[in-house]
Amino acid sequence: MKNALYQAEIEKMCRLYQNILNEAQDRLNASKTFSNMEKQGIIHSLQILIENSIGKAKHVLKFKAQEIPVSPYDVFQVLEEIGIINSEDQKKWKKLIDFRNAAVYEYMNVSEEIVFHLIREHKYTFILDFLRKPFEDF
């Protein structure tokens, strides 16, 4: 039951941030510009999704009775080792964690090009797919 409640909250959060990122994508496709506040909102939306993915990955490891590493990189490495994700996905997670670290710790150095690429190319749907996947399907 605990995982069901957690998953329900994840679904609500995903809807909110997917709407924000979809709106950003529509504006990018229409060649509209963003204010600095909107740019920060987009970055924050991606950061929140990645943070929640790290949390969910830890919950998945707990669900699978695995030891939970401290480092988010190691969390996804263990998911690969036990066959939950493949090596290609593990590489994507490493890049997303790198992005999240830049957004949190080096926020002055976050590349708008990378952010807009993630939005324009629907790269954020990879994160949403992971978050929306029910625990029983892992």
**pLDDT of 106 over the 90 cut:** no
Looking at residue 30, what is its pLDDT?
93
pLDDT in tens, 10-45: 999 999 999 999 999 999 999 889 999 999 999 999
CATH at 111: 1.20.120.580
User: Distance from CA of residue 11 to its chain's centroid?
Assistant: 13
Tokens (6 digits) for 81: 């080792």
Strand ranges inside 35-85, DSSP E: none
**Domain enclosing residue 130, as ranges:** 2-137
Helix 36-63 × helix 112-120 angle, to 10°: 70
Looking at the 3D structure of the chain, how many domains does it have? 1
pLDDT in tens, 74-104: 999 999 999 999 999 999 999 999 999 988 8
The Cα 132–Cα 116 span in angstroms is 23
**pLDDT of 49 over the 80 cut:** yes
Looking at residue 20, what is its pLDDT?
96
pTM for the full model?
0.92
User: Distance from CA of residue 102 to its chain's centroid?
Assistant: 14
Looking at residue 1, what is its pLDDT?
61
Mean pLDDT of the chain: 93
